[in-house]
Amino acid sequence: MSDFKPVLYMKTSCPWCMRLAAFLVEAGIWDRFEFRNFYEGDENEAAIRAEVAEHFEKASFPTLQYEPGKYMIESGDIIAKYADELGLDPENMPFYQYFMNGPMRRNRETFQELMRLRKEVEENRVTA
């Protein structure tokens, strides 16, 4: 039996990482992982980004190393992997749904507004 423990690379301020964290805690599997966390500008950031970038065109968080040398990105895909494995339906997980319908929803709305404003600024530059 392997002593390998899946590794999660997480950016502490990333809403997608927080989404995954909410799922892992409620699913009761937080302790199944080794974490490599950083926040923007800390002493761990460069090393973690470099480690993840070796496996993808661009470092993205969260990233999961689920087997030695095998990685996946996208919080939704990681959640689906473990939800399927555990026979869980995230739609029926109260804390996860609270997070998705509260903080995560607001984050998505803010992000969409930011993208709309960026597009508007770019269009104004082109016509100016």
pLDDT 10s digits, 41-59: 999 999 999 999 999 988 9
Assigned domain for 122 exists = no
User: CB under 8 Å to 10, separation ≥6 — which residues?
Assistant: 17, 20, 21, 35, 36, 37, 38, 61, 62
- pLDDT surpasses 60 at 1: no
pLDDT score at 128: 67
Assigned domain for 115 exists = no
Do 16 and 61 touch, CB atoms closer than 8 A?
Answer: yes
Q: What does DSSP assign to residue 32?
A: G
What token pair was written down for 25? 């805690």
Assigned domain for 51 exists = yes
Assigned domain for 23 exists = yes
- pLDDT surpasses 80 at 127: no
Number of independent structural domains in the chain:
1
Distance CA 46, CA 123 (A): 34
pLDDT score at 105: 84
pLDDT score at 60: 93
Assigned domain for 104 exists = no
Assigned domain for 64 exists = yes
pLDDT score at 65: 97
Range of the domain at 73: 7-96
Please write the tens of the pLDDT for every residue from 11-37.
Answer: 998 999 999 999 999 999 999 999 999
| Mean pLDDT over each residue of the chain, to the nearest integer | 93
Assigned domain for 21 exists = yes
pTM: 0.82
The CATH number given to whatever domain includes residue 51 is 3.40.30.10
